[in-house]
Amino acid sequence: MFEYKINSKSKKSKARVGFFNTPHGDIITPVFMPVGTVGAVKTMSPADLETAGAEIILANTYHLHLRPGENLIKKAGGLHKFIGWNKPVLTDSGGFQVFSLSEPALKRRGVKTVKPARISEKGVEFYSHLDGSRRFMTPEDSIKIQESLGADIIMAFDYCPPANSSKLKVQEAVSTTHRWLARSLKVKKRSDQLLVPICQGGVYRDLRFFSAETIKSFNLGANAIGGVSVGEKKEKIYQAVEWCTDILPEGSPRYLMGIGYPEDIAEAVERGIDMFDCVLPTRLARHGVVWKKSKSSVKKIKGADYGYEQVNLLKSKFKGDLDIIDEACRCKACRGGLCKSYLRHLLLEREPLGIHLLTFHNLVFVFDLVSDLRESIKSGTL
């Protein structure tokens, strides 16, 4: 269980194509994991996801813990049965959300006085983004919740500081993350779940090296890189990834958390990353934005023979556009001959079908891109 095997390796870079075994099926890497925060990728049924090409989805421990609760999901037979998805599932630890979500989310809901999350050695005190109630989560709690949820791959509870944090603050987060990892491992009981540690360290090379060496020493079968795409420039993200993959073992999958732009995925694959997740393809779709292949685009994708355009269908110029988004696309909208004018109309009328069709399109774009990158690795062009 959780065997990882490299099937093809680039001679030009760190890129590789691999095979990753889980209790609910095999994953071919590199792989993109769509985010199903509350147990559903927005507007997509499990059958839709499978048709689009999803091999694994991500769900959120924080959200599922608050509602409907891990005990109900456990009673239902676990997350796979509860949501009707028979392929692999990864749950994040909730660590990022308890820091980032409660305060800003409550302020957006009109709550004026909000207490920020507070960290201690024991865990994190935070306030639910749903009702403002006081909560406390420890590394042990996170593991127990994830064991009840029953995902194939679970994440260690970590401390992810903002991008503008001082080096001293990032160093504190790294040390806390390592201590919490040891505690997470100590309480983990299920052998049919893979616990994945997270490398922190921000944009500081020495801290990234230290964190990567530390989590490597646990030899847990897979490793993740966190603390990127939290406000820093792209070049800093690529640099941090390079530092980490220099250290993290080649014989285990490497997971880069929160990366979703096409060019970023390609850059990360070149640097030896195997797994990705991001809300971006689905979030953009909800705002009328789609990705389409383009030979002449300034947005180039390393390892692909095409670039891409980011198109906002809500713009007035698409009101009478009777062309489909992309002739080469296999999604429901493009394959079905649905024009941009109609899709725009659905969005303006707040018809859920419009968001569904754009979500399907964007996910197909990402899944096909990752498939193309695999072929580029095999052919030696990436």
Active-site residue list: 92, 277
98 close to 62: Cβ distance less than 8 angstroms: yes
DSSP 151-188: -SEEE-------TT--HHHHHHHHHHHHHHHHHHHHH-
Nearest-10 Cα torsion for 45, 144, 223, 216: -170
Q: Which residues pair with 312 in a beta bridge?
A: 289
Give the max Cα distance, the chain: 61
- 205-218 and 167-187 are packed helices; what angle lies between their axes, rounded to 10 degrees? 10
Dihedral-angle region of residue 288 (phi above 0 means left; psi in -120 to 50 means alpha; beta otherwise): left
CA distance 303 to 372: 8
Compute φ and ψ for 321, nearest 5 degrees: -80, 110
DSSP-derived secondary structure letter, 317: G
- Backbone CA torsion sign across 257, 258, 260, 261: negative
Closest alpha carbon to 358 in 294, 307, 311: 311
- Backbone CA torsion sign across 264, 336, 355, 311: positive
Closest alpha carbon to 58 in 41, 43, 46, 82: 41
